[in-house]
Structure 1
Amino acid sequence: MRGPGAVIAALTLVWSGAVAAQDYPTRPITMIVPFAAGGATDSLARFLAERIRMILGQPVIIENVAGASGSLGVTRAVRAPADGYTLSIGTSTTHVLTGGLYKLPFDLMKDLEPIILIGSEPLLIVGKKSLPADDLKGLIAWLKANPGKASVGIAGVGATGQLTGIALQKETGTAFEFVPYRGNGPAMQDLVAEQIDFMIEPASNFTALLAAGSVKPFAITGHARLASAPNIPTADEAGLPNFFASLWYGLWAPKGTPKDITAKLNATMSRVLADPLVKQRFGEFGIQITPLQQQSPEALRELQKADSARWWPIIKAANIKVE
């Protein structure tokens, strides 16, 4: 049986923790972006950082830590103090796929506290203008008639586009070559120049090219059509049933961060995502905001587990190696 001193000490810890969460934050927060400045995730993080500051009253400083498909930035976040002053923003690539690509010095499923699933963006299957197909069924037929001859640009080995391409091969019985680039920018340049045949990447990457008529869209890999491109069918509608893939964004804190603090951050982010101006900006980003009922930390954790169960075996079976 514990003595009065132990009870008082325990109650003091609980009380002080509650007070700390109530007062949080009392100083600037750092949000680690696992990519270089200027990319889609960095732009999203900087936009959200300002909205968070407006609610919590403290600056949110962006720290870019790029490298190894984002795993260097995630490692930095994992090793940070679990006090709520370091956050990890990332994608399904940085917080799921890297677990199948690298031998990480931590456990992606256990060493970060999920805060919220921010939103997701479907991929777009898009080809060069001269490709002899006008819809997804035509593209699949052309691939089957030309096994191993088509080239697909990807934003790096093991990236979402490559894994979705492998899934497409399995679903359709086709074969094509992957051409890795240092990001989507150079790959899109070669697509427009018709040096490669097609790509499967986040839809927002192709907004300007679609507007200019420089590429040929076939289908998006989402459950619904994009509001920004309502004429492009889903893969499901275009003749490839149940073919879904997306790039999603989430927010985490280091393992051990007090629950009251992660709850406060979750509530703050829910307020941010409910803002009509934020919804408008996300539409411009091409990101679909997570429905309210899926904005819990538990929903983010379950999505991580489900995606790892789906993609890690594909990575292993394809024997994908990264430098």
Structure 2
Amino acid sequence: MQITRRHLLQTTGASALLAGIGQQAFAQAALENATIVTGFAAGGTSDTICRRVAQKLQPDYAKAVVVDNRTGAGGQIAINYIKARPADGTTMLQTPTSMLTIYPHIYKKLSYDPQTDLTPVSLGCVFDFGFAVGPAVPASVKTVADFLAWAKANPTGANFGSPAAGSTPHFVGVLIGKSAGVELKHAAYRGTQPAMLDLLGGNISAVSGPIGDITQHLSTGKVRILSVSGTKRSRFAPDVPTLMEQGINMAHSEWFAFFLPPKANPELVARLNAGMKNALAQKDVIDGLGTFGLEAMSSTPAELAELIKKDTAKWGPIVKEVGFTAEA
């Protein structure tokens, strides 16, 4: 999915309405405490946006805002936790799109309904993925084609890690292999950072994950990014060609978004949305997220809800092509 960077930020009517509601919303008394829950480990991109936004929600939305990393089950533990919480604004979720738009296609019995068990609040950011190799792969491997040829000749090294089974980067890695008829064995981790540690240690050959989770390890000299997943080169890795430039007809990016528990009061949603929009417009947040390969982006709740529906429909045929299923 490619999101037009300006489209959701410049929806004139919605923005004007939100501004009016936002001024009224911020006049309400701040909560004592609030928590942003993420399903991924500390130190990764998901955790990073949570912590930067948490800082900016203080003290207007809540006097204290903390981050709770509830890892496991590819992000599902965090979602299940949120859906059972009171919709009083004290607990919110930040999650990647995969758990909401891909998981419904791969789990026969998903323990939550993305359409009814969460209340959309706002987008948080958009980003591309990188496909990188580490010390387990010879230095002569410099392109995706090189890696696929090497993997074909060295089946024990034909593998890659991703932040979660059934996530967008998981499918990107599988589709890269399928483009050349090479089966790349997948290893699922609780976030990209644990996968990167195994990559650096030579335990896995490659990682498919958010570009920012990979670029922060380039200084080690042990990681080489072979491609990025967007329709054009990433400004965070301008020298790295896209998959399409390398002859693989595929382009995928992803978004992170914020949600409240189900059936949250519209006034509360509007208040948190105003806080999110304000936080994501701050220069230090934009610059800070940029260091992790994330482009800050807010939206209205309605725009986010529509985006979920569109992306869910998009991923159906892709999942069918890959043939991946998971047991709930």
Q: 2:36 aligns with which of 27, 31, 35?
A: 31
TM-superposed CA distance for 1:269, in Å, is 1.3
5+ unaligned residues in a row in structure 2: which ranges?
A: 1-23
Contact 2:200/2:222, CA 8 A, preserved across alignment? yes
Contact 1:30/1:61, CA 8 A, preserved across alignment? yes
**113 and 195 in structure 1: CA distance in 2 versus 1, 3 angstrom threshold:** closer
Of the structure 1 ranges 218-227 and 23-32, higher mean CA displacement relative to structure 2 is found in 23-32
1:78-97 map, 5 Å: 78-97=83-102
Secondary structure in structure 2 of the residue aligned to 1:23: coil
* TM-score for both structures, normalised by structure 2: 0.78
Aligned to 1:16: none
Q: How many residues align?
A: 301
TM-superposed CA distance for 1:171, in Å, is 4.2
Aligned to 1:283: 290
Q: 2:113 aligns with which of 94, 107, 118?
A: 107
1:202-221 map, 5 Å: 202-221=210-229
1:45-84 map, 5 Å: 45-56=50-61, 58-84=63-89
The structure with the largest alpha-carbon Rg is 1
Q: Which amino acid aligns with 2:122?
A: I
Contact 2:74/2:163, CA 8 A, preserved across alignment? no
TM-superposed CA distance for 1:299, in Å, is 2.6
**35 and 184 in structure 1: CA distance in 2 versus 1, 3 angstrom threshold:** closer
TM-superposed CA distance for 1:287, in Å, is 0.6
2:137 is the alignment partner of 1:126: no
Task: Provide the alpha-carbon RMSD of the alignment.
Answer: 3.1
For residues 169-188 of structure 1, give each alpha carbon's deviation from its aligned partner in whole angstroms, at most 9, with x where no partner exists.
Answer: 44444332223455544533
Of the structure 1 ranges 124-133 and 313-322, higher mean CA displacement relative to structure 2 is found in 313-322
Q: 4+ residue runs of structure 1 moved beyond 6 angstroms?
A: 144-149
**234 and 299 in structure 1: CA distance in 2 versus 1, 3 angstrom threshold:** farther
2:307 is the alignment partner of 1:300: no
TM-superposed CA distance for 1:216, in Å, is 2.3
**256 and 321 in structure 1: CA distance in 2 versus 1, 3 angstrom threshold:** closer
1:1-323 map, 5 Å: 23=28, 25-56=30-61, 58-102=63-107, 103-128=109-134, 129-130=137-138, 132-140=140-148, 150-181=158-189, 183-241=191-249, 243-290=250-297, 295-312=299-316, 314-315=318-319, 318-322=323-327
Identical-residue share of aligned pairs (%): 29
TM-superposed CA distance for 1:163, in Å, is 1.8
Aligned to 2:10: none
**276 and 155 in structure 1: CA distance in 2 versus 1, 3 angstrom threshold:** closer
Provide the rounded CA distance (Å) in 1 between the counterparts of 2:89 and 2:166. Answer: 31
TM-superposed CA distance for 1:199, in Å, is 2.1
